[in-house]
Amino acid sequence: MFLKKLHITGFKSFADPVSLEFSKGISAIVGPNGSGKSNITDAIKWVLGEQSIKSLRGKKMEDVIFSGTDKKSPTGYAEVVLVMDNGDGSLVDYPQEVSISRKLYRSGDSDYAINKKSCKLKDVHSIFMDTGLGKNGYSLISQGGIENIIASSPGELRSIFEEAVGIVSYKTKKNEAEKKLEQTQNHLDRLRDIMVEIE
């Protein structure tokens, strides 16, 4: 699996639609200071479901929408579409090409979609779980990121290794199953109480 295309519209400094194509292997983005290199990695983080505006170098989520310049008016929304090549079948049960999109309007309305089908943030997180990409992935390492990993607590380090070896989805499923078991136990307790009352 590799990042194949990125379409950015109205996101940060990219007022007009921009499409980037990547090939397998290493790609480098070069350009003068302030030209928008980091905004590209921000766009990738954002479409993968980043919720922390601090990590996107803004103050409020609306800051990701193009805020206008002397020559251009602000845009009403930001949209990022990321296309993954899934030729190796890393994303099980998904076609050869998988697109993930996120759109945010100034009104605060937002939408995620997988292969153009509207979905929830949870679906975007679960598709990339254990792949190294996604919210808790280690594919995007920002400036200072290595130092942060070195300074991580044992618990945080453990999460990084768990994602790398691919057990996060099992842990999530286990937690969900435990929650359901607890709910069922509560229902059983309630039923028992009612039965005692009736008898």
Tell me: does residue 9 bind ligand ATP (CB under 6 A): no
Residue 70 or 88: the one with the smaller Cβ distance to ligand ATP is 70
Q: Contacts with ligand ATP: how many residues (CB under 6 A)? A: 14
Q: Which stretch binds ligand ATP (CB under 6 A): 60-68, 103-111, 121-129, 160-168?
A: 60-68
Q: How far is the CB of 52 from ligand ATP (least distance, A)?
A: 16
**Which of 31-39, 46-54, 144-152, 168-176 is the region at the interface with ligand ATP (rule: CB under 6 A)?**
31-39
Q: Which of 2, 5, 18, 36 binds ligand ATP (CB under 6 A)?
A: 36
- Say whether residue 25 binds ligand ATP (CB under 6 A): no
Q: Report the nearest approach of ligand ATP to the CB of residue 149 (Å).
A: 21
Taking CB under 6 A as the criterion, which residues in 63-82 touch ligand ATP? 63, 65-67
Annotated binding site for ATP: 32-39
Select 33 or 153, whichever has its Cβ closest to ligand ATP: 33
Residue 44 as a binder of ligand ATP (CB under 6 A): the answer is: no
SS (H, E, C) the chain: CEEEEEEEECECCECCCEEEECCCCCCCCCCCCCCCHHHHHHHHHHHCCCCCCCCCCCCCHHHHECCCCCCCCCCCEEEEEEEEECCCCCCCCCCCEEEEEEEEECCCCEEEEECCEEECHHHHHHHHCCCCCCCCCCCCCCCCHHHHHHCCCHHHHHHHHHHHHCCHHHHHHHHHHHHHHHHHHHHHHHHHHHHHHHC
